Structure 1
Amino acid sequence: MALIIIGLLVLITGAVIARNQSSFQRLGKFIKLAGIGLMLIGVLMASIVQIEAGQVGVKSLFGKVQNDVLKSGLHFINPMVVVTRLDIKTQNYTMSGVHDEGEKTGDDAIRVLTADGLEVTIDLTVLFRLTEADAPMLVKETGVNYVDKIVRPLTRTKIRDNSVYYDAVALYSTKRDEFQNRIFKSIENDFKNRGLFLEQLLVRNITLPQSVKATIEGKINAEQEAQKMQFVLQK
């Protein structure tokens, strides 16, 4: 588009020179031809779009998003059309308490309340991808910043909503897989309705409150001491 504008300016300049300066008519004609050439090259370049592998292109004309998508390859389009390229490969979004491990700098772990009123910290990774056929809907309704508008807030909300059904210790141990599957099912449909496909949800780490850790460690130590005593008595 920039080349078309430059060509138009060159064409106008050549026309002005040819009309006002009779001694420079030949130069003016040459400048006009150069301007026309630049405009033609600009139109040709604006009409050719290459979509890389793992991407789709969403077309919009004067702000109106078109429903068909451009798949990977070379395409000839209306030079006035704006193409937004979107990644359809698998993406991951990590929320972690470890510094610089997640997408956000600093502590980005999810703090939730369990059924027994304790605060538990959860590190999580979401694997997802954009649904190719729904790319125009996503651009129209959400825009290209769908990670911050959909993936992050929806995931954090669903984790908090579902954690209240589990005690802290059960969440940490016996109910961990059940909790992970429950979150996956609650998020999957919401992602689908917004043009995203949820591939996998990974609960990477669950951190219990220090008081609960101390209680568990004390219980384990007591059991170990009891086993030692029983072994001594058997001798």
Structure 2
Amino acid sequence: MPADLNDWMNKNNNKKPSFEPPKFEPPKFIKGGSGLALIIIGIIIVFGILFRPWIIVNEGEIGILATTGKFSKEPLYPGMHFYVPVIQKVIIVDTKVHMISYKRIQEAGTMPDRYGTIKVYPAINVLDARGLPITVELSVSYRINPDEAAYTIKTYGLNWEDKIINPIVRDVVRNVIGKYPAEDLPVKRNEIAMQIETQIRDTLNKIDHKPVIFESFQLRDIVLPENIRKQIERVQIAKQESERAKYEVLRAEQEAQKQAAIAQGKANAAKIEAQGKADAKLIEASAEAKANIIISKSLTNNLLKLKEIEVQGKFNEALKANPNAKIFLTPGGAVPNIWMNIDDKKKALSNGK
């Protein structure tokens, strides 16, 4: 190769290219050192938006923190709590009062609510002391123990109600109802309800860690077999008739006692009235007797003679004024004076002819 050609090639190879890429220079605020902090903050914001490493626990709820699948014993109470996504998660558990209602028919308005705090199960079928089928309707109210929520979910799972409450309620109802004959159930309803509530409460309290807090119990209905129900109705009707007959007898006795009391009262009143009249007459007679005694003591012969003369004078005056007077018998001393009507004497004489 000629020397001049080699020189030309070497000269061209040593030339710089006419286009050079632009050099990147970081902004001044990054060169100052504060840029790194802003980058970290931006990364945290993006991470927070994507993974949301916090959770809010509401009232009536409890949070269970699970780290790589292991539950924390301490629950997360209402408020805001932070956790590490992917590695940790929070399970929300409802701590409000729940209810299981055992019914024969699922009526409108008794469907489970949207929060799952009300559940409707079929009525409980049991056997009485003689083996007769009985259907029982009842309701049970309860809530999870917040302090033992982690243990409860870890041991029984999220369907802990079906594993704890439902079996206990059914077993207790069967044990209690099975002690009584069917015809005694309506009469001893309150006694049976108290036994069921007490046994449910005691059984729940015996479970390790006491996962459930028992609130209340209601025995709604005891459905008896048709033949037993009719027999009870007949017995009740007979008892009512017997009670009514006793009432009628008692009423008749009371009426008789009332009439006897009225008659006795009237007799006593008449007796009292007669006694009063007799006493009044006796008093009057006694007073008259006393008056006569006083009068008789005051009469003397001279006074009587004087009164006789006065009366005789009045008769004489009367005869003068009325010569045709009727007969007058006037006692006067030893011999009474007799005054006769003269016309009557003439008539008598003329009639004698």
TM-score where L is the length of structure 2: 0.51
Identify the residue that residue 136 of structure 2 maps to in structure 1: 122
Q: Give the conservation status (yes or no) of the 8 Å contact 2:140–2:216.
A: yes
Query: Of 79, 82, 99, which aligns to 1:92?
Result: 99
Structure 1 residue 66 displacement after superposition: 1.1
Structure 1 residue 119 displacement after superposition: 1.6
Equivalences for residues 13-28 of structure 1 within 5 A: none
Question: Using the alignment, how far apart are the partners of 2:244 and 2:47 within structure 1?
Answer: 89
Q: Deviations over 1:93-134 (max 9, x none)?
A: 1011123347347xx111111113222111010010111111
Equivalences for residues 46-195 of structure 1 within 5 A: 46=53, 48-79=54-85, 80-100=87-107, 101=110, 103-104=119-120, 108-174=122-188, 176-192=189-205, 193=207, 194-195=210-211
Give the AA of the match of 1:201: F
Question: Using the alignment, how far apart are the partners of 2:148 and 2:183 within structure 1?
Answer: 41
Give the AA of the match of 1:99: Q
Give the AA of the match of 1:159: V
Matched, 1:219 2:235: yes
Report the aligned-residue RMSD: 2.7
Q: Give the conservation status (yes or no) of the 8 Å contact 2:129–2:179.
A: yes
Question: Using the alignment, how far apart are the partners of 1:146 and 1:213 within structure 2?
Answer: 38
Gap regions ≥5 residues in structure 2: 1-20, 25-38, 112-118, 256-353
Question: Using the alignment, how far apart are the partners of 1:118 and 1:125 within structure 2?
Answer: 23
Identity level (%): 27
Q: Is the deviation greater in 48-57 or in 72-81?
A: 72-81
Matched, 1:38 2:52: no
Gap regions ≥5 residues in structure 1: 1-21, 26-32
Question: Using the alignment, how far apart are the partners of 1:96 and 1:121 within structure 2?
Answer: 9
Q: Give the conservation status (yes or no) of the 8 Å contact 1:121–1:206.
A: yes
Identify the residue that residue 10 of structure 1 maps to in structure 2: none
Identify the residue that residue 199 of structure 1 maps to in structure 2: 215
Give the AA of the match of 1:211: N
State the structure with more CA Rg: 2
Higher strand share: 1
Structure 1 residue 177 displacement after superposition: 2.3
Q: Is the deviation greater in 216-225 or in 151-160?
A: 216-225
Q: Give the conservation status (yes or no) of the 8 Å contact 2:83–2:89.
A: no
Question: Using the alignment, how far apart are the partners of 2:245 and 2:128 within structure 1?
Answer: 36
Identify the residue that residue 348 of structure 2 maps to in structure 1: none
Question: Using the alignment, how far apart are the partners of 2:133 and 2:91 within structure 1?
Answer: 42
Q: Give the conservation status (yes or no) of the 8 Å contact 1:60–1:66.
A: yes
Structure 1 residue 39 displacement after superposition: 2.7
Which secondary structure does the structure 1 equivalent of 2:96 belong to? coil
Structure 1 residue 40 displacement after superposition: 4.6
Distance change (3 Å), C-alpha of 1:72 and 1:40: closer
Structure 1 residue 186 displacement after superposition: 2.2
Question: Using the alignment, how far apart are the partners of 1:90 and 1:40 within structure 2?
Answer: 34
Q: Give the conservation status (yes or no) of the 8 Å contact 2:64–2:75.
A: yes
Q: Tell which has more relative contact order, 1 or 2 (C-alpha 8 A, sep 6+).
A: 1
Question: Using the alignment, how far apart are the partners of 2:199 and 2:91 within structure 1?
Answer: 30
Q: Give the conservation status (yes or no) of the 8 Å contact 1:172–1:208.
A: no
What is the number of residues matched between the two proteins? Answer: 199
Question: Using the alignment, how far apart are the partners of 2:155 and 2:200 within structure 1?
Answer: 19
Identify the residue that residue 3 of structure 2 maps to in structure 1: none
TM-score where L is the length of structure 1: 0.74
Structure 1 residue 197 displacement after superposition: 0.7
Distance change (3 Å), C-alpha of 1:75 and 1:40: closer
